[in-house]
Structure 1
């Protein structure tokens, strides 16, 4: 197995990327220059955990947007699968296809995983918040699908409860 990926931390420059979205259009991080962006990496569309996480982002989209955050979801899925997922779950934020894992690797979200005693390479569920200047403000790796968005909102100071 390979070494653990280099993880991003606060103050790091967010690696540039251009990926196809669910409709096959190219979306680049540079398209969001001047905006804060929540970039989250998830293993596979339409699986229970990933669906829960995506729906939590969907349900928090209005308040995240009001606080100045845009949301981008990235997975290794093909655009057609992302389109079905977005339609089935009424997801209105961009879902991007990183089929060769190059963006996930650059962002520290691809690497060694262990599951049921088996070690393999795969996508590490991760969330990175990029500030309007393109710098990492917050990076969270090995996050849980359930409850992650609520924790992220607290960490960003959006929920005071």
Structure 2
């Protein structure tokens, strides 16, 4: 099942989800730019590369008014292990029921090693201070994505 993808100007679906150290509710972050990035699995090579790129860009993104939130189907325990192993300092959301990924069009059919499978689609949705989609990128590559995102957002 592939859900509808979001586009610039759409209202970002609100959600509350468990994190590795509590919970996160999107609407509680109104007034800020929130980068929601969806990734398949913590502690895999591509996802680690992407998470570390966000970690290394966090100060520049924060200085420009952006908050980063990573979302996967991993358990809070695995997310805590990922945070510890990689020194991650941004919010990690657990979405084992896939509700958030489906609402954002980040779950569905994708190609994996030449086969069509259903899974997490590496995606990034930037939510503006009013709760609308500022930017939506789907099927992004793990390597170089944060650099591309910073360029598109005008963050040096």
What is the CA-CA distance between 1:15 and the residue it aligns to?
A: 0.3
2:52 aligned to which of 50, 55, 61: 55
In structure 1, the partner of 2:125 is 128
1:88 aligned to which of 85, 89, 93: 85
Per-residue CA distance 1:49-97 (angstroms, 9 max, x = gap) = 0000000000000000000000000000000000000011000100000
In structure 1, the partner of 2:149 is 152
- TM-score, normalised relative to structure 1: 0.95
After the TM superposition, list the runs of 4 or more consecutive aligned residues in structure 1 that deviate by more than 6 angstroms. Answer: none
Tell me if 1:117 matches 2:111.
Answer: no
- 1:61 and 1:117 map into 2 onto residues whose CA distance is 34
SS in 2 for 1:39: strand
In structure 2, the partner of 1:9 is 7
- 1:72 and 1:38 map into 2 onto residues whose CA distance is 6
- 1:117 and 1:56 map into 2 onto residues whose CA distance is 27
In structure 1, the partner of 2:40 is 43
Q: What is the root-mean-square deviation in Å for CA atoms of aligned residues?
A: 0.8
- 1:117 and 1:36 map into 2 onto residues whose CA distance is 36
Gaps in structure 2 of 5+ consecutive residues? none
- 1:142 and 1:107 map into 2 onto residues whose CA distance is 13
- 2:114 and 2:49 map into 1 onto residues whose CA distance is 25
- TM-score, normalised relative to structure 2: 0.97
- How many residues are aligned here? 156
What is the CA-CA distance between 1:117 and the residue it aligns to?
A: 3.0
- 1:21 and 1:103 map into 2 onto residues whose CA distance is 13
